[in-house]
Amino acid sequence: MKYARLTKEQLEELHQEFINFLATQSITAEEWAKLKTEKPEVAEQEIDVFSDLVWEGVLKQATYLENISSQHMYLFHLREDEMKLIAVKILNEAIDITTKEGFQWLRENYTTEEVEILTANKAYSEDRNADKFALLKQGSNITKGKLYQWFETMMA
């Protein structure tokens, strides 16, 4: 398995897609039920293959990631040729940007000395999707990139 097995909830959400996947493997509902009981390790392998296929599709489509904690914000733009990062650090420990008030404070004070903003570019390794997945495992979430774009515009 290259990425991570989908959770039970994720598999339930993708129930129809999983049925279609099994059909492409020429596995009927009856055969699937039998596999799960008689050869659970083979059933697990099928779930793993399906999970990797889903992750490949998701990672290929991902263009922006965000990883936000109380004092830091890491905003990634996953471009074709490289990853671009906007990193925001709050130097005032009384501010928690995960709260509505803290985020409002950041919007009003991002140009002050209490906020550090750094940018960086990084080339992908040979496996671009693995690089993206590593960021997700570290706590990033896939987004539409509005926050990244806002900061990019403000810094221009």
Q: What is the pLDDT of residues 41-75, one digit of tens each?
A: 999 999 999 999 999 999 999 999 999 999 999 99
Quickly tell me which residue has 């803290």 as its tokens.
102
Decide if pLDDT at 31 tops 90.
Answer: yes
Predicted confidence at residue 80, as pLDDT, reads 93
71 and 22 belong to one structural domain: no
State how many domains the chain has: 2
42 and 70 belong to one structural domain: no
138 and 88 belong to one structural domain: yes
**Please, which residues have CB within 8 angstroms of residue 84's CB and are 6 or more apart in sequence?**
76, 77, 119, 120, 121
Asked, for residue 42, whether it belongs to a domain, the answer is yes
Asked, for residue 1, whether it belongs to a domain, the answer is no
Distances (CA, A) of 38 to 11, 33, 44, 81, 146: 21, 9, 12, 46, 49
85 and 96 belong to one structural domain: yes
Q: What is the pLDDT of residues 107-128, one digit of tens each?
A: 999 999 999 999 999 999 999 9
The one-letter code for the residue type at 59 is L
83 and 16 belong to one structural domain: no
84 and 27 belong to one structural domain: no
What mean pLDDT, rounded, does the chain reach?
95
Asked, for residue 126, whether it belongs to a domain, the answer is yes
The answer to whether residues 26 and 79 touch, using CB atoms and an 8 Å cutoff, is no
Q: Which domain holds residue 140?
A: 64-155
Q: What is the pLDDT of residues 63-106, one digit of tens each?
A: 999 999 999 999 999 999 999 999 999 999 999 999 999 999 99
The one-letter code for the residue type at 155 is M
102, two tokens: 């803290």
98, two tokens: 């995960």
Give dist(CA 3, CA 22) in Å, integer: 20
104 and 37 belong to one structural domain: no
Q: Counting beta carbons within 10 angstroms of the beta carbon of residue 114, is it exposed (0 to 12), middle (13 to 18) or buried (19 or more)?
A: middle
